[in-house]
Structure 1
Amino acid sequence: MSNAAQIYLKAAQDLLSTAAQTQSDAILRAAALCTEAIARGGVIYIFGTGHSHLMAEEGHFRAGGLACVVPILSTTVMVHEGAIASTRMERMSGLADVILARYPLGADDALFVFSTSGVNAVPVEAARYARTQGTPVIGVTSLAYSTAAANGRQRLADVSDVVIDSGAPAGDAVVPIDDEVSAGPVSTLLGAAMLNAVLVQAAADLAERGLEAPVYRSANMPGANEHNKRLVERYRARNPHL
């Protein structure tokens, strides 16, 4: 298939365009939760397991990103120290409470939970745990995928205060290679786009209120070091990963 790369890029472009059109209301509601949390002095936590943990790193300590973002990171459910083991662990009930207990989630904060399949135990239970702490939950998932995979299980979409549907297809891959195999996952690029859309909107909403949007500048730009140092000092006590 000589044009498989272009098929992938076109599929990704179409899915991103669809998400931008169909998820605008959910993005605005998620941004409102984040804006309120930041205005109250809270932080924005981000959690995911497997490849969805990349979203936590996507939002953390980067140029153009918000300094109030705190990634929830646990090697137990990340892929770099044992992908097969982490796949098993993300399906283990009871683990989410242990992971999230390290982070002082509260009513002044907000939590993103990313799970494309939307049915594994750890992300679903992470959302439930956060809500017991009074923390509003923004679930970013694929409704098509989670509906196909649920088989009676509770979905992330069922326990989130705001649900953003990435639109990734069941199985995630978008390019048929033969009659049985498809390649080309799209959940990461869709998830990153949805996350940044929410955070950008929150930053704009804060500025509109006359409040500072705590946005990092690129370290290679003039004046960035002083600006970023001030933001780091502001949030260091809440972010164990700074």
Structure 2
Amino acid sequence: MSSTPVAAAYLAELAARMGRLLEQNAGAIEAAADAVEKTAKADGLAYLFGTGHSHILAEEAHYRAGGLALAVPILSTPLMVHEGAVASTGFERMPGMVVPILEHYPMGANDVLIIASNSGVNTATIEAAGIAKTRGTTVIAVTSQEYSRQAAHGRTRLADIADIVLDNGAPPGDAITAVPGSELRVGPISTSIGAALINAIFAEVAVRLQAAGADAPIYLSANMPGAKEANDRLIARYKSRNRHL
């Protein structure tokens, strides 16, 4: 018997939910892969945006060993948690906050914007999706359909705007593990599942590109043979368009 039964139960439940992702999102995963592949072949960029903890998914894809170099994170300190977590909650709900941020990221019709938002209702998220749509950019949402339906209260959801919706299956509140003797729950899952979905799509695209005779722009881990030379070539290709390299 496990001496860490709660940890074991959490990991088992997370693994089970991971296992259902393809069945629940098969069409959306294919559509997202198609969109990112089209972007790659047009020498476009895959922008990634999220507020609060969801910004972690933008950083997960950025300059990632085994990841695509066309990934560009949209990062702004007020919307992140490292210098003011409480304040970031207020900023992500502030109308107009995202407008000047997106002026630094000239996404267009050849690009995609992947927006991660578990609740799918915060103002910055909704406005970012709307701005991208006006620019002709394909919007891919990584969100919880169940949570966003509960949180909306009549408001527009990210899932209502996005061209493609990937449902992470997270319950309202994100956490999946009950704390006995209370109504509290621990063990959030949206970050783990969101990262898995994005990496699965990028992996699909990379293999498709290679199969079509195009060199997939894949970063190598810095300690692998030939990594510096390969990565330097990719940095030279994308640095002028990725302000975070």
Deviation (angstroms), 1:2: 5.4
Partner Cα separation in structure 2 for residue 133 and residue 96 of structure 1: 15
For 2:8, the equivalent position in structure 1 comes to 6
Contact 1:96 1:129 in 2 (8 A): no
Unmatched segments (≥5 aa) in structure 2: none
Rounded to whole Å, the distance in 1 between the matches of 2:238 and 2:4 is: 49
The separation in 1 between residues aligned to 2:25 and 2:207, in whole angstroms, is 18
**1:67-146 pair list within 5 angstroms:** 67-146=69-148
Pick from 223, 227, 236 the counterpart of residue 224 of structure 1: 227
What residue is the counterpart of 1:236 in the other structure?
A: 239
Which residue of 183, 197, 202 maps to 1:199? Answer: 202
CA deviation after TM superposition for structure 1 residue 207, in Å = 1.4
State how far apart, in whole Å, the 2-side matches of 1:74 and 1:154 are.
23
Q: Report how many aligned residue pairs link the two structures.
A: 242
Q: Does the alignment pair 1:164 with 2:166?
A: yes
What is the letter of the counterpart of residue 141 of structure 2?
G
Amino acid in the other structure paired with 2:199:
N
2:136 is paired with a residue of what secondary structure?
A: coil
The aligned amino acid for 1:202 is V
Q: Please provide the CA RMSD for this pair.
A: 1.1
Partner SS, residue 218 of structure 1:
coil
Which string of whole-angstrom CA distances, capped at 9 and with x for unpartnered residues, describes residues 39-78 of structure 1? 1011110000000000010000021011111000000100
Counterparts of residues 37-48 of structure 1 (less than 5 Å): 37-48=39-50
| Distance in 2 between residues matched to 1:107 and 1:229, nearest whole Å | 27
- Please identify runs of 4+ aligned residues in structure 1 that moved more than 6 A: none
Q: CA deviation at 1:180?
A: 1.3
1:152 aligns with 2:154: yes
Match of 1:139, SS?
Answer: strand
Distance in 1, Cα, partners of 2:22 & 2:14: 12
Could you tell me the TM-score, scaled by structure 1's length? 0.98
Between 227-236 and 7-16, report the one with greater CA deviation: 7-16
Rounded to whole Å, the distance in 2 between the matches of 1:2 and 1:60 is 34
TM-score, with structure 2 as normaliser: 0.96
Is the Cα contact below 8 Å between 1:59 and 1:71 reproduced in 2? Answer: yes
Distance in 1 of aligned mates of 2:9 and 2:95:
38
CA distance in 2, matches of 1:7, 1:99: 41
Tell me how far 1:222 sits from its aligned partner.
1.0
Of 210, 214, 222, the match for 1:211 = 214
Matches of 2:64 and 2:47, distance apart in 1: 15
Unpaired runs of 5+ in structure 1? none
Deviates more, 1:53-62 or 1:11-20: 11-20
SS in 1 for 2:187: strand
Could you say which residue in structure 2 is the equivalent of 1:28? Answer: 30
For 1:193, the aligned partner's letter is A
Q: Which position in structure 2 is the counterpart of 1:56? A: 58
What is the one-letter code of the residue matched to 2:105? Y
CA shift at 1:20, angstroms? 2.4
**Deviation of the 1:179 alpha carbon:** 3.2
Q: How far, CA to CA, are the matches of 1:97 and 1:204 in structure 2?
A: 35
